[in-house]
Amino acid sequence: MRLLLSACATAALVVAGPLTATAAGQGPQGPVGGDLLTAKPTVVADGAAPPAVQASAYVVADVDTGDVLVAKAPHAKLRPASTLKTLTALVLLPRLKKTDPVVGTDADAGIIGSKVGVYPGLRYTVDLLFQGMFLASGNDAVHALAAHDQGGIPATIQRMNQKAKEIGAQDTHVTDPTGLDADGQFSSAYDLALFAQAGLARPDFAKYAATKYTAFPNAGKSGTYQVANQNKLLFSYDGALGVKTGYTTLARNTFIGAARRNGHTLVVTLMNAPHGVTEDASNLLTWTFKNYTKLNPVGTLVKPAAAVPPKAETGTTEGKITTGTTSTAHPPRSRTVLNPGQAVQSIAFRVPAWVYAAPPVLLLGLFLRRPKALRRRRH
């Protein structure tokens, strides 16, 4: 009898277990972008042998097709440093009006790390602060921009994490929009490629990323000073489109670069590199362009989730500029053809878990209720 009860209870748990996992969307899945794109520290390429690179992780992908052409530990979760500012830009660019004035604060000027020179009481435009963010990797410019947006820094962090999910960047978690080393903050070479792909699709992002020089106002005196882009690829590589560099003591060198040659636009991302990051990026780009026709994709950059369409907003409010995109409340569902076995399993999973658990519970009650005659004999 005990064996029968155990068998029934086990059957209920076996059925209810997969039901929970299926309902939560936590079934067995391969790495995002393809089975070959893992966090393992191995180089994956098909068609030619890539040059040696010192970075712990990297990705080279075609921005237009989404093909990942070579990768090394693409999903390893590492500290992104200032390359995370590409995600910050993806969040703030569509929300802020470029001509809006922003007055520098003590909090902007007092931030640690790299600065472009935002001073308390000095007036800047949103456009100029974006230039300071891209070219000089100014943490002060990032702080001023995020504080200018509705909800300030906390809301920006929340929007960044949401944006990462929307575009499929599942390796990324944000706790500081500047990219400074912070507990719980990480990304991957694969996710950085997603940020670059999404960013380069925006004319304003692409313009800031490729700008070589700008002028910033002096504090306390007239005139300006020149600010040069820290991405040396712009100055040394034919067809370079720039994007973003990064460095902290813990993250070491991180890098996002892009270039266009022969009708192809490639992005290269590197993380945890000791030094020589520009040279490594150049070598990877040159090798990929040279062997482009020989290379077979080893993965793909996933497309943004169709289930999370952008909100329909128009007009300019509270210092923000929004786009007039529209979306349907109920996007069309894709059709999936099931074989007979899958169909039965699908129907079984639709049945509530308590239906399977009820029979063992009822049986347990019946067997625990002993007949009166049996109870009298024992007395």
Q: Could you give the residue numbers annotated as active site? A: 82, 85, 137
**Cα 308 to Cα 161: distance, rounded to the nearest angstrom:** 13
**Cα 284 to Cα 377: distance, rounded to the nearest angstrom:** 87
Q: Is 372 annotated as a binding residue?
A: no
Q: Which of 215-224 are b and which e, b meaning 16 or more Cβ less than 10 Å from the residue's Cβ?
A: ebbeeeeeee
Q: Minimal CA–CA distance to 192: which of 294, 51, 89?
A: 89
**Cα 137 to Cα 129: distance, rounded to the nearest angstrom:** 10
Q: Which residues are annotated as a binding site?
A: 244
Residues of each annotated binding site for substrate? 244
